[in-house]
Amino acid sequence: MHISSHTRTLTRRTLLGVGGLAALGGTVAAWPRLAGQDIPGRGEDVLRVAIQGTAQDAAARQDLADEFTAENPDIPVRIEAIQAVDWGDFFTKILTMVASGTAPDVVYVATEGAQLFAERLAEPLDDWITHDEAALENYFEDVHPSLIEAFMYQGSLYVLPLDFNAANMYLNLPTLERAGLDFPSPDWDIDEFEQMLRTMRDTAEGGFVPYFWTNRLFGGIVPWLYANDTSILTEDRFSGGDWLWDRFYTPELTAERRGGYRWTSSNVSDPRVVETFERLQGWVNEGLSIRPEEGGGNSLIGLFASDRIGATPAGGYWAQGLHENGMSDEDVDVQYFPRWRSQRHQFGTAGYSIMRTSERKEQAWRWLEFTTRKESMELAMPVPTTTPTRRSMVDEAFYRETGPRNWKVFYDTLDDFPSSGPIPAPPQQAEVENALARNVALGMSGGPAQLETALDRLDRELTVAMEKSS
């Protein structure tokens, strides 16, 4: 089967203009190293699949690659792990590889890069999906439409999501017991949460912090903005998507679904955004929360496991890590994010995309279709280091060894709060996240006047970023 490509022209100027890559002019000589051209065998005739991670992460996917090649002996696969600080750094390295002519065929893309890839790098999957409709029916029946729409852009789908995580609230159970507190109900609200933090603080010994959060798009201030029924960017939807919704889902499941999320301008002037920043700054100043840590919070699991943190937002990806750090379901549990004006949750998701520059698109599509099968996903995700997008995989057996007891919230978040949405990540995601991180750090480190300064600057920087051509 051959399906015509929707490839757009990828000029060197276009690629170097994204995410600060214009600054690479002085590093052209280093491209072979950055892009891996100097790695032996890189030019072999194989399907190259790039993931963010280490050589150990690539080795963990080798069984999946071997199963695929056993079924498709004409398509050898190489899993290429690219080490990066975060998703933004990973995307920058992929862009560098494209600019140097050494791009992979397939890339594992998270929500943070969904629209960047859709706008510039990835092949739309619409024709492939409609052609192989029968093979994909079981996949779509098993995957919540919220996760699908997160990877739609202007009505087309660019990624088949395989794993996701919503920002739920993890709670340290010994800390709750020490404070004489019961585990919260699913419909708890922000006032109950705040009082819980105060009680934890007042009954704790030194070196304890009630609430820990990271300074990034996922799990930072954004979940509180969503709960307060607002966001840093104005949010709309693209039209379209009916070609998929009508084919795979019932109308009652997709009545509110469209052709993907559309973020257009700064929304920082919304009073609810200001209110959210003020509330969290108050927690910092009152000793209920740390000043947020920028990045992924690498020290967080250890601190939580040593009972030095009472609560923190995270997803199902934490289950295995906490288990490996000695925590059982008697030590930790998880609940929905607290309600404010709404109980809308934030989530992020990820899956494979086909690069427009690839000369192996048909082979790449066979890889994508193969990885959506339940047996393939079970091979790729044998333990809960993330939440599978297939509902049927998120069951008691999956969490039997690790906990938490309330594991059902991981998928039920999507069912119980269908308005939950993805990380606000337009094609200018790098500029958006950098502006947010800078100004959250500034705003949370001073008083009301400094917070006002930080919000004014955030509004200006987001306005500039969103006015740039994507």
Domain segments of the chain as ranges: 47-164+348-393, 168-232+267-344+427-468
CA angle 340, 423, 48 (to 5 degrees): 155
- pLDDT > 60? residue 40: no
Q: Write a three-state SS string for 10-65.
A: CCHHHHHCCCCHHHHHHHHHHHHHHHCCCCCCCCCCCEEEEEECCHHHHHHCHHHH
Q: Is the pLDDT of residue 303 over 80?
A: yes
Q: Which two tokens stand for residue 34?
A: 């950055």
The pLDDT score that the predictor gives to residue 205 is: 84
Q: How far is Cα 228 from Cα 93, in angstroms, rounded to an integer?
A: 35
| Distances from the Cα of 306 to the Cα of 183, 212, 309, 325, 327, angstroms | 19, 14, 8, 9, 9
Q: Which pair of tokens denotes residue 329?
A: 């379901």
**Cα 137 to the center of its chain, rounded Å:** 25
CATH topology for the 168-232+267-344+427-468 domain: D-Maltodextrin-Binding Protein; domain 2 (3.40.190)
The percentage of the chain sitting over the pLDDT mark of 70, rounded to a whole number, equals 89
pLDDT recorded at residue 109? 98
pLDDT digits (tens, 9 = 90+) for 178-231: 999 999 999 999 999 999 999 999 999 888 999 999 999 999 999 999 999 999
458: pLDDT strictly greater than 70:
yes
Q: Which residue has the higher pLDDT, 296 or 288?
A: 288
Per-residue model confidence (pLDDT) at position 247: 96
pTM: 0.89
Residue 311: per-residue pLDDT: 96
Mean pLDDT, range 221-245, rounded to an integer: 97
User: Residue 294: pLDDT above 70?
Assistant: no
Answer yes or no: same fold for 47-164+348-393 and 168-232+267-344+427-468. Answer: yes
* Banded model confidence at residue 2, pLDDT cuts 50, 70, 90: very low
Average pLDDT over residues 5-11: 38
pLDDT reported for residue 253: 87
Reported CATH class of domain 47-164+348-393: alpha beta
The upper half-sphere exposure of residue 101, i.e. CA atoms within 13 Å in the direction of its Cβ, equals: 3
